[in-house]
Homo-oligomer: A and B are copies of this chain.
């Protein structure tokens, strides 16, 4: 609740247009809904620009379905990540228009007017095995209202494949780089591009990759500037950060 809203409310109390108990209620309660096992943050759309997203991992199918059902009642856009096919089936039983990205394990529901496209997000990946994470990022960025292009399998072992992508990089407002193993792609892209680079280490690799630790440390130590890192395999988080960047652009251009 912003200062201006608080002032307005107090004025209404002063003028007896709003009762003390009503004001109390408004000040005390913030708009969330309690399902017992979860407290849905219906206010998040106002605060963060996109409704609460369902992270399915660690929740039962029933819990996900109940949460999605309630979110659908309050919002035109619902996103659920890390969703297996059985979760999707349960969601589709409730919302027949739910769509599913098998590769990215993402469920999306979009109703009403499509969201305006705020900006251009380029998703690059180093190898084929990084695709599930890259797709989670790409689908999320799209559903949040962005133009998305994909540029996959451009790892630094064949750097000419990457140098070829200059035009794509220039098209973008923000670049998401998805890479496992040694994660060097983030540094090379960061050195070439003047856009914000969101680096996503993946758990792709074996042995001394230590489930993505090598790529994570590599990206955190990038000798190129303009690189921000998210958690290992966190395609959603990368897209959310990219979306926050394009929102800055979009608001400036309005």
Q: Are A206 and B187 in contact (CB under 8 A)?
A: no
Pick the contact of A6: B24, B57, B224 (CB < 8 A).
Answer: B24
Q: Are B248 and A232 in contact (CB under 8 A)?
A: no
Among residues of B, the one whose C-beta sits closest to the C-beta of A206 is B233
Q: A6-B24, A158-B41, A187-B184 are in contact. Are A221 and B214 (CB under 8 A)?
A: yes
Q: A37-B128, A63-B128 are in contact. Are A228 and B207 (CB under 8 A)?
A: no
| Chain A window 1-45, contacts with chain B (Cβ cutoff 8 Å), 1 for yes, 0 for no | 011001100110110100010011001111010001111010110
Q: How far, in Å, is A32 (CB) from chain B's closest CB? A: 5
Q: Does A230 contact B (CB under 8 A)?
A: yes
Among residues of B, the one whose C-beta sits closest to the C-beta of A190 is B157
Q: A196-B248, A204-B58 are in contact. Are A44 and B231 (CB under 8 A)?
A: no
Q: Are A196 and B241 in contact (CB under 8 A)?
A: yes
Q: Are B241 and A231 in contact (CB under 8 A)?
A: no
Q: Which residues of B contact A129 (CB under 8 A)?
A: 55, 57-59
How many copies of the polypeptide does the oligomer hold?
8
Contact residues, A186-236 vs B (CB, 8 A) = 187-188, 190-192, 194-198, 201, 203-234, 236
Q: How far, in Å, is A228 (CB) from chain B's closest CB? A: 2
Q: A13-B13, A129-B58, A187-B157 are in contact. Are A207 and B231 (CB under 8 A)?
A: yes
Comparing A46-54, A70-78, A109-117, the segment that makes contact with chain B is A46-54
Q: Are B253 and A49 in contact (CB under 8 A)?
A: no
Q: Does A156 contact B (CB under 8 A)?
A: yes
Q: Are A2 and B207 in contact (CB under 8 A)?
A: no
Q: How far, in Å, is A171 (CB) from chain B's closest CB? A: 13
Q: Are B249 and A248 in contact (CB under 8 A)?
A: yes
Q: Does A183 contact B (CB under 8 A)?
A: yes
Q: Which residues of B contact A128 (CB under 8 A)?
A: 37-38, 58-59, 63, 67
Pick the contact of A212: B14, B207, B224 (CB < 8 A).
Answer: B207
Q: Are A229 and B229 in contact (CB under 8 A)?
A: yes
Q: Which residues of B contact A137 (CB under 8 A)?
A: none
CA distance A243 to B232 in the complex (A): 25
Q: Are B232 and A230 in contact (CB under 8 A)?
A: no
